[in-house]
Amino acid sequence: MSNKIAVLAGDGIGPEIIAEAVKTIHCLQQDFGFEADLEYAAIGGAGYDQSGQPLPAETLEICEQSDAVLFGAIGGPQYDELPRELRPEKGLLNLRSSLSLFSNLRPAILYPQLADASSLKAELVAGLDIMIVRELTGGIYFGQPRGIRELENGERQGFNTLVYAEHEIERIARSALDIAMLRNRRLCSVDKANVLEVSELWREVVNRVAGEYPEVEVSHMYVDNASMQLVRAPKQFDVIVTSNLFGDILSDTAAMLTGSIGMLPSASLDKNGKGLYEPVHGSAPDIAGKGLANPLATILSLALMLRYSLQQPDLADQIEVAVGNVLDQGMRTADIAETSSSVGTSEMGDAVVAALRALA
Ligand code: NAD
């Protein structure tokens, strides 16, 4: 059955990096029997330029009807003065909430060839491959009541509410356990159950859902310890599941272990496994249009799409192997080059396609 993929290039380097991921899709179609229909649509600043909205209605409709969304990047200085509702970022936020994407996957993968790029010792991080699953639509970022109020003594007090309902915990636990089943079957749930009642409930519900997954080894860790362990011995983890706030912080720590933002893919999934796949980085206006951007984070996002939304784990593996082979050949874009010699965006994409073709 043909897969429907919505392709949203967006702004800045978005179109350049998406072009390389599309080349990779074409290679899968030609040499691996992969069936896909691509539908292109505008988002972010490009959406605003086209129709006055960062998420045009037509774009949302195309995404709703697709099996997965491949997303480049949005934003640029020319849009900074627009009212908040019309800014490019709003397009992405609205798309995530319209598609109910509550499960945010942030892998931290460090190809051994790039181990020197990490701020940690190479032996601690070479070959690192962990997945952080962050709850994306609940918790303290959305909890009510919230605000800044004036107390009786005239002093101001800021307040937010950390709430999770059982169904929210249940669905993120299930999403993470499904992911663990596709990986090394180890899940660490991170909370602060020694202090927070909401974490007590989190732990109880995670354990309950875990009962349905006897093959997965489930452990629990307090967030303060988890943040230490991530920089002390990160390779101990396979999949980590955690709340919105803790995941926000821990996934950035984990990302830094890998040293290069141009290498990091991400995904956001709904309860049926439909997802939006995008590089972690932004639209990099400083290098847009120069052919310098590293397309590997976007190509690796495509691999995640094949694994988690399109049920093609073998093709996902092949892409990841091809990227490793290209790095073995010494190919580097400027952001990951140790010497002054580097290749451009399309040369890197061509090299991945050639390496992929060699695996067919
Ligand atoms: P950025 O990630 O775009 O860039 C940070 C630095 O990393 C820049 O020096 C850039 O050149 C470099 N960089 C990023 N991606 C790269 C790649 N693939 N290859 C080589 N170098 C790369 O972050 P920023 O500069 O803070 O933000 C720029 C714009 O992107 C802003 O408008 C911001 O709102 C937007 N943004 C969008 C997203 C998204 O689309 N999801 C995420 C973050 C920021």
Residue 126 has pLDDT above 90, yes or no: no
The C-alpha atoms of residue 204 and residue 40 are separated, in whole angstroms, by 43
Reply yes or no on whether 224 is catalytic.
yes
Q: Tell me the pLDDT tens digit for each residue of 93-103.
A: 999 989 999 99
State how far Cα 129 lies from the chain centre: 14
Cα angle 32-38-39, degrees, rounded to a multiple of 5: 175
Residue 293 Cα: closest atom of ligand 1: 19
Q: Tell me the pLDDT tens digit for each residue of 235-249.
A: 999 999 999 999 999
The C-alpha atoms of residue 283 and residue 108 are separated, in whole angstroms, by 20
CB atoms within 10 A of CB 16: 25
The C-alpha atoms of residue 79 and residue 87 are separated, in whole angstroms, by 6
CB atoms within 10 A of CB 116: 10
The C-alpha atoms of residue 126 and residue 147 are separated, in whole angstroms, by 44
343 lines ligand 1 (CB under 6 A): no
328 falls in which pLDDT band (50, 70, 90)? very high
Residue 180 belongs to what H/E stretch? helix 166-182
Reply yes or no on whether 252 is catalytic.
yes
Same fold across 1-111+260-360 and 129-257: yes
Q: Tell me the pLDDT tens digit for each residue of 145-162.
A: 999 999 999 999 999 999
pLDDT score of 192: 98
Lowest mean pLDDT among 110-119, 211-220, 307-316, 348-357: 110-119
Average pLDDT, rounded, for the chain: 95
Residue 72 Cα: closest atom of ligand 1: 40
**CATH superfamily for domain 129-257:** Isopropylmalate Dehydrogenase (3.40.718.10)
The C-alpha atoms of residue 93 and residue 90 are separated, in whole angstroms, by 5
Identity of the amino acid at 79: Y
pLDDT score of 235: 95
Domain map (residue ranges) of the chain: 1-111+260-360, 129-257
Residue with the smallest CA separation from ligand 1 atom 40 is 73
pLDDT score of 113: 87
For the domain spanning 1-111+260-360, the CATH number is: 3.40.718.10
Tokens (6 digits) for 161: 């509410």
More confident residue, 135 or 256: 135
Residue 71 Cα: closest atom of ligand 1: 40
Task: Return the best residue to mutate from 55, 84, 283 for the ligand 1 pocket (most ligand atoms within 8 A of CB).
Answer: 283
Identity of the amino acid at 139: G
Q: For residue 189, what are the CA distances in angstroms to 77, 132, 243, 250, 254?
A: 39, 10, 9, 12, 15
Q: What are the two backbone dihedrals, phi and then psi, of residue 206, each rounded to the nearest 5 degrees?
A: -60, -45
Residue with the smallest CA separation from ligand 1 atom 43 is 282
Q: How far is the CA of 200 from the centre of ligand 1 (A)?
A: 37
252 lines ligand 1 (CB under 6 A): no
Residue 1 has pLDDT above 90, yes or no: no
User: Of 333, 325, 295, nearest to 111 (Cα)?
Assistant: 325
Q: How far is the CA of 99 from the centre of ligand 1 (A)?
A: 24
pLDDT score of 341: 85
- DSSP 3-state assignment of 344? coil
219 falls in which pLDDT band (50, 70, 90)? very high
Is the model's pTM score more than 0.75?
Answer: yes
11: left (phi over 0), alpha (psi -120 to 50) or beta: beta
